[in-house]
Structure 1
Amino acid sequence: MNGLILSGGQSSRMGREKRLIQYHGKTQEAYLFELLGKFCEKVFVSLNANQHSDYPYIYDAYHEMNSPLVGILSAFQHEPEQAWLVVACDMPFVTHETIQYLIEARDISQKATAFQNPDELFPEPLITIYEPSIFSDLLQAYQQGRKSAMRVLSQQPIKLIQAPNPQMLKSINTPAEYEEAIRK
């Protein structure tokens, strides 16, 4: 299984690249790279064409759409036979325990293993293990102009698990959310 740090978004609400924000005494990119490296064969940062990283990276191959789906598809295009443990760069409360819990719950007979979003009750696509068998479903959604990885997950046989601590799934997208997060 490979790890993928989703970082190719525009960060327009935050006003700066979320992967470069520090929460743990280092950039979120560095924190997640080290964290996923404890569990995955290889780890990559998903980037758009305007970004660069000192870590191994995969550029978004599908430029027509601005969606996390693009990063996931690009990872599968890079190594289609690998499962991908995907984590968004704007989730600072993801810990070793979060990843270990997800991996221990993994069911390779399903197309993915995902946490259920505690607020919306849908699969949380931004911290999920995607099995190789879901690649064609993701690609078909993209080709049909559908950009929601969550909707693809909702329509597939996946293992849905409850987060032991819902806070671990929290995304930080604005300066106000960042200020609140660093106070915790």
Structure 2
Amino acid sequence: MMENNSAPLKGLVLCGGHSSRMQENKSSIRYHGMPQWQYLVELLQSFQLETYLSCRVDQQQDFNSYPLLIPDSVPYGGPSAGLLSARQYQPGTAWLVLACDLPLISRQSLEILINAREKDCAATAFRSPVNLMPEPLIAIWEPAGLDALLENVAAGKNCPRKTLLNTDIRLLDNRYYEEQYNANTPAEKAEAVRQISSQSPHP
């Protein structure tokens, strides 16, 4: 266990990917009648979390309507850039991180994650139903976890999941594991749309 910390928890929506497999911007897809980034922001805000968007520098104009932006500010790529830019922007903050490729995620999964938050660990994360490893982009990253990520990335290990595998984390099984579905291709998008249209809206 790490020394107890009282880091404030804030929300972070990762929008900095290039969406090359999807062939369109994943953060702008309207699964729920609004751009996906907005849906995720409102989901996090429903827990009274101050919520930021993470994006590449060249994307800033795409999100002019949203005031809380954290453009990438570190010399690394991938989701680690968003996580470490948030760490640099507000040191000492814990972040509930959501990737923009999670069309099925809802309040009920986030409630489990927030209620199970273990501040003495590097992170609190769900176990992937696909490979049983930690989900680094549906997780609460504590400052200690981000410190470990920075150390690993600086050493050439640019993988948030590997950082979680090698640090002290709280790993959860999500009873709503189907909400961890990732949509990264047109076929996966179509499947997500099918599932959403077949469900009643979550309360």
Which residue of the partner structure matches residue 92 of structure 1? 103
Structure-2 separation of matches of 1:19 and 1:40: 22
Structure 1 gap ranges (5+): none
The CA distance in 2 between the partners of 1:131 and 1:163, in whole Å, is 20
Residue 124 (str. 1) matches residue 132 (str. 2): no
TM-score by length of 2: 0.87
Tell me which structure has the larger Cα radius of gyration: 2
Question: How far did residue 40 of structure 1 move?
Answer: 4.5
Find the partner of 1:29 among 10, 18, 37. 37
Once the two structures are superposed, the pairs formed by residues 93-112 of structure 1 within 5 Å of their partners are: 93-112=104-123
CA deviation vs aligned residue, 1:41-60 (integer Å, no higher than 9, x gap): 31111101221212221011
Distance 2:151 2:105 in 1: 30
Contact 1:21 1:27 in 2 (8 A): yes
Instruction: After the TM superposition, list the runs of 4 or more consecutive aligned residues in structure 1 that deviate by more than 6 angstroms.
Output: none
Q: Is 1:47 paired with 2:59?
A: no
Matched-pair contact (CA < 8 Å) for 1:83–1:132: yes
Alignment deviations for residues 60-85 of structure 1 (CA, whole Å, 9 cap, x no partner): 1124x331111011111111111100
In structure 2, how many angstroms separate the alpha carbons of the residues matched to 1:101 and 1:114?
Answer: 10
* Corresponding position: 1:151 with 2:166: no
Matched, 1:72 2:83: yes
SS of corresponding position for 1:10: coil
Distance (whole Å) between structure 2 residues aligned to residue 51 and residue 182 of structure 1? 26
Which sections of structure 2, spanning at least 5 residues, go unmatched? 1-8, 196-203
The count of aligned residue pairs is 183
Structure 1 letter corresponding to 2:104: F
Whether contact under 8 Å (1:9, 1:66) holds in the other structure is no
Please list the CA deviations of residues 125-177 of structure 1 after superposition, one character each: whole Å capped at 9, or x if unmatched: 01000011222211111111111100000000000000112211111001111
Q: How high is the TM-score relative to the length of structure 1?
A: 0.96
Higher deviation after alignment, 37-46 or 154-163? 37-46
1:18 and 2:23 correspond: no
| 2:151 counterpart letter in structure 1 | Q
Q: Could you tell me which residue of structure 2 aligns to residue 60 of structure 1?
A: 72
Shift of 1:108: 0.6
